[in-house]
Amino acid sequence: MPTPGTRPPTLAVVGAGWAGLAAAVTAARTGAEVTVFEAAREAGGRARALDVGTPAGPLRLDNGQHILIGAYTATLGLMEQVGVEVKPALLALPLGMPHADGTGLQTPAWAAGWPAPAALGAAVLFGSRGWSWADRIGLLRASMRWQRAGFRCADHQSVADLCAGLPKRPLDELIAPLCVSALNVPPAQASGAVFLRVLRDALFGPGHGGWTASQLLLPRTDLGALWPDAALGWLAALPGGPSRLRRACRVLAVLPRDGGWTLEVGSASGTSAERFDRVVWATGPSVAAQSLAAVAPEWAATTDQLDHTAITTVYLRAAGQRLPAPMLALRSAPAQFVFDRGWLRPDDAAAQGLLAFVISASEGEREQLQDAVLQQATQELGLPASGLAPIRTVTEKRATFACTPGVQRPGMAVAPGLWAAGDYIDGPYPATLEGAVRSGVAAAQAALQPVTPWRGPGQTPDAPHTAPATRP
């Protein structure tokens, strides 16, 4: 909080995705005067609501189906702070990867409330229908080996390296789908070190609000209502809040000036220049690299070299059908998971029979992927082809960075008084909602600390300039 008699710092947050809004809420709660700029009309970035017109009327979907887990303490905590009632908003499921035929890993009902390590043990030993005892013992031995190593490995190791010798069934039915959903690359290409950190927090980290760390939390509402809309509403309720939320405003340039930063902003009404004490840049990596290259060329070059992978979500209408569970794992390609929106919204008539098929590490053209998913729906789920109708296929071509072994991610500090936030910023997590939120919180905390201004050519934008912020 500002000390008595001092002016609170002015902070510009560029980008109203999950990271940017986490930064804005965190800074505003400490007394900073926050202004949020968003180039699009819909907030949420790569996890946002999507309005779709259908013959039956308008339908509110998401640009991708997301899962939270109980270990997402930063995300869930911020949701509550802006007024989201997380218990009704999220359907909690015990850790499991069930298939349509009833096989696969599932936590027994009697172990659903156990601590995560015990629940996983019960699932492996008693809830892994179709697995041999060699499959179960092999997975438990690998898990204990990872635990003894402190869930750490060499930076060059992949998830496939970690799983050398693991039986095929647990590798195919648990490790591979977990890996591709969390890191968005297959085990042979995925960072073993990051995968182990995710596994550690999901098994031994704290949960939130009575949920265990490993519980799967499926949104019952659209992604906009789950966080972005609630955060914007909370910010708008602050004194002067509505005037500090700038939708459809694109930041064209950021320039150091008078110990702070001047933003050149373009909108339908023209261009303007606005000065701020501090800036948190929270757009996607490609826009960030392009926009900040002039003030931080080394940071921009590191950001620009990141590889990216796509995620495709195929929405199908299966008239009169309901899956045996809200979420099912799929053995065939291309989708790894399918979600039944009717399970998640039982009182919403438009959600009944609406299925969302998620293809992580997506490759191929939209029509090809949609046709392949229709085959999955008929062959693996047993749904009648005559009752299936495609609603919308959404591909985020640069959905996440490729979390490969030893990948170099840009740091949070860009220049004096200028920080970056996003799920691609260097941190313990892959490109997840929790990674984005934690990055935004950390950037806001850093932005409120004393900053050493530039003194001229002798101090470059990439030089150290502030004490490291404590990660939440």
pLDDT > 90: what percent of the chain?
A: 88
The residue out of 214, 237, 262 marking a domain boundary is 214
Residues 429 and 285 reside in one and the same domain: yes
Q: What is the pLDDT of residues 317-351, one digit of tens each?
A: 999 999 999 999 999 999 999 999 999 999 999 99
Whole-angstrom Cα distance, residue 174 to residue 152?
Answer: 20
For residue 416, say if its preceding peptide bond is cis, omega within 30 degrees of 0.
Answer: no
Residue 204, judged by CB atoms within 10 A of its CB (0-12, 13-18, 19+), counts as middle
Residues 464 and 342 reside in one and the same domain: no
Residues 100 and 185 reside in one and the same domain: yes
Whole-angstrom Cα distance, residue 75 to residue 45?
Answer: 15
The residue out of 343, 378, 401 marking a domain boundary is 401
User: Residue 288 domain-assigned?
Assistant: yes
Residues 186 and 229 reside in one and the same domain: no
Residue 462 reports pLDDT greater than 80 = no
User: Among 129-133, 380-384, 447-451, whose mean pLDDT is lowest?
Assistant: 447-451
Residues 350 and 361 reside in one and the same domain: yes
Residue 468 reports pLDDT greater than 80 = no
Residue 41 reports pLDDT greater than 90 = no
By C-alpha distance, which of 1, 437, 34 is closest to 238? 34
User: Residue 320 domain-assigned?
Assistant: yes
**Do 205 and 197 touch, CB atoms closer than 8 A?**
no
Residue 86 has a CB neighbour count (10 Å cut-off) of: 18
pLDDT of residue 472: 30
Residues 101 and 166 reside in one and the same domain: yes
**Identity of residue 308:** H
Angle CA 344–347–353, to nearest 5 = 60
Residues 32 and 172 reside in one and the same domain: no
CATH number of the domain bearing residue 380: 3.90.660.10
pLDDT of residue 451: 66
Residues 376 and 284 reside in one and the same domain: no
pLDDT of residue 3: 53
**pLDDT tier for residue 195 given thresholds of 50, 70 and 90:** very high
Go through 106-122 and write b for each residue having 16 or more CB atoms within 10 A of its CB, e for each that does not. bbeeebbebebbebbbb
Query: Mean pLDDT in the chain?
Result: 92
Q: What is the pLDDT of residues 284-300, one digit of tens each?
A: 999 999 999 999 999 99
Residue 38 has a CB neighbour count (10 Å cut-off) of: 27
User: Residue 192 domain-assigned?
Assistant: yes
pLDDT of residue 142: 96
Whole-angstrom Cα distance, residue 429 to residue 423?
Answer: 8
pLDDT of residue 452: 63
Residues 209 and 240 reside in one and the same domain: no
User: Residue 159 domain-assigned?
Assistant: yes
The contacts of residue 269 (CB under 8 Å, 6+ apart) are: none
pLDDT of residue 453: 59
For residue 353, give its domain range: 308-401
Tokens for 330, please give them: 């799929």
254 — phi, psi (to 5°)? -130, 125
Residues 295 and 427 reside in one and the same domain: yes
Residue 5 reports pLDDT greater than 60 = no
Whole-angstrom Cα distance, residue 425 to residue 439?
Answer: 7
Q: How many residues does the chain have?
A: 472
**Identity of residue 402:** A
Whole-angstrom Cα distance, residue 325 to residue 98?
Answer: 8
Residues 120 and 175 reside in one and the same domain: yes
pLDDT of residue 7: 75
329: left (phi over 0), alpha (psi -120 to 50) or beta: beta
pLDDT of residue 6: 67
**Do 44 and 16 touch, CB atoms closer than 8 A?**
yes
User: Residue 89 domain-assigned?
Assistant: no
User: Residue 87 domain-assigned?
Assistant: no
User: Residue 55 domain-assigned?
Assistant: yes
**pLDDT tier for residue 55 given thresholds of 50, 70 and 90:** confident
Strands 10-14, 278-281: pairing is: parallel
Q: What is the pLDDT of residues 230-278, one digit of tens each?
A: 999 999 999 989 989 999 999 999 999 988 999 999 999 999 999 999 9
**Identity of residue 304:** D
What's the rounded mean pLDDT across residues 191-219? 95
Tokens for 239, please give them: 């004194």
By C-alpha distance, which of 448, 433, 469, 439 is closest to 27? 448
The residue out of 195, 214, 233 marking a domain boundary is 214
pLDDT of residue 187: 97
pLDDT of residue 238: 94
**pLDDT tier for residue 177 given thresholds of 50, 70 and 90:** very high
User: Residue 90 domain-assigned?
Assistant: no
Residue 459 reports pLDDT greater than 50 = no
Whole-angstrom Cα distance, residue 340 to residue 303?
Answer: 36
CATH number of the domain bearing residue 291: 3.50.50.60
Residue 381 reports pLDDT greater than 90 = yes
User: Among 46-55, 80-89, 167-176, whose mean pLDDT is lowest?
Assistant: 46-55
Q: How many domains does the chain have?
A: 3
Residues 409 and 296 reside in one and the same domain: yes
**pLDDT tier for residue 56 given thresholds of 50, 70 and 90:** confident
pLDDT > 70: what percent of the chain?
A: 94
